[in-house]
C-alpha cells in the first residue's frame, strides 16, 4: 500500500510486484496517476524517469480494506501531495497510523512540491489525525514513530507551539 505517489515511496513497487505478483498495489485514487508519470511522481525533476506498475486498487476515504490480516481504514490527508492518504489500524490498542509524509516527529511533510499546500496539510492533520486518541502511534514514511498526543503538544508546525487549540 502506498500513502502517496512520490518517487521515494513508489520506487520499490516494481520489484515487489515481481516477487509477490498477487499482492495488490493499493494507493489513494488521487495519486494513482503518479505511479506511471515521472513528472507527477517527481522523479523527472531529479533526472530520473521512474515508472511504477499501475495500481491494482485505488482507495479513498471512507474505504476500508484488509492487508496481511490487518483491517485498515483510509483517511484522505492532502497537503504534502494532493491525493495523499493514510491508513489507520484500530484492531489493537493503541491504534496505529501508516502516515506517509503527513506528520513526522516534530515536523510535517514538505509542501513546496507542485501539488503541495501547507494550509491543506495543517487542516488534514488537525481534522483527521489530531482527533484520534493521544496514544495513537504514527508510523511516518521517514524518521521515528510518534504519537498524536506528542505532536499536539510539541509540534512547532501544527501543534500547541503553532497556536493549535485542542
Domain layout of the chain by residue ranges:
7-162
Mean pLDDT over the full length of the chain: 97
Which among 162, 163, 150, 165 is positioned nearest to 104, based on CA atoms?
150
Residue 10 has pLDDT above 90, yes or no: yes
CA dist 107 and 114 (Å) reads: 20
Residue 157 has pLDDT above 90, yes or no: yes
DSSP annotation of 33 reads G
**Predicted pLDDT at 166:** 82
Q: Are 79 and 122 spatial neighbours (Cβ–Cβ below 8 Å)?
A: yes
Percentage of the chain lying above the pLDDT 90 cut: 98
Average pLDDT of span 31-52: 96
Q: Are 91 and 11 spatial neighbours (Cβ–Cβ below 8 Å)?
A: no
Average pLDDT of span 29-42: 98
Q: Are 89 and 137 spatial neighbours (Cβ–Cβ below 8 Å)?
A: no
> Which CATH architecture fits 7-162?
4-Layer Sandwich (3.60)
The pTM of the full predicted model, rounded to 2 decimals, is 0.96
Cell of 14: 516494481
Percentage of the chain lying above the pLDDT 70 cut: 100
CA dist 118 and 103 (Å) reads: 12
Cell of 117: 499546500
**Predicted pLDDT at 68:** 87
Residue 117 has pLDDT above 90, yes or no: yes
Amino acid at each position: 500500500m502506498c500513502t502517496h505517489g512520490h518517487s521515494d515511496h513508489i520506487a520499490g513497487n516494481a520489484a515487489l510486484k515481481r516477487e509477490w505478483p498477487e499482492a495488490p498495489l493499493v494507493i489513494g485514487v488521487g495519486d494513482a496517476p503518479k505511479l506511471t508519470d515521472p513528472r507527477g511522481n517527481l522523479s523527472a525533476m531529479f533526472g530520473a524517469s521512474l515508472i511504477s506498475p499501475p495500481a491494482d486498487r485505488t482507495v479513498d476515504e471512507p474505504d476500508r480494506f484488509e492487508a496481511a490480516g490487518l483491517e485498515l481504514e483510509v483517511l484522505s490527508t492532502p497537503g504534502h501531495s494532493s491525493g495523499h492518504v493514510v491508513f489507520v489500524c484500530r484492531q489493537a490498542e493503541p491504534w496505529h497510523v501508516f502516515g506517509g509524509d503527513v506528520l513526522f516527529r516534530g515536523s510535517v511533510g514538505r509542501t513546496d512540491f507542485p501539488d503541495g499546500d501547507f494550509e491543506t496539510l495543517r487542516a488534514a492533520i488537525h481534522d483527521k489525525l489530531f482527533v484520534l486518541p493521544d496514544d495513537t502511534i504514527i508510523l511516518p514514511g521517514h524518521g521515528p514513530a510518534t504519537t498524536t498526543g506528542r505532536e499536539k503538544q510539541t509540534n512547532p508546525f501544527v501543534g500547541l507551539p503553532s497556536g493549535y487549540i485542542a
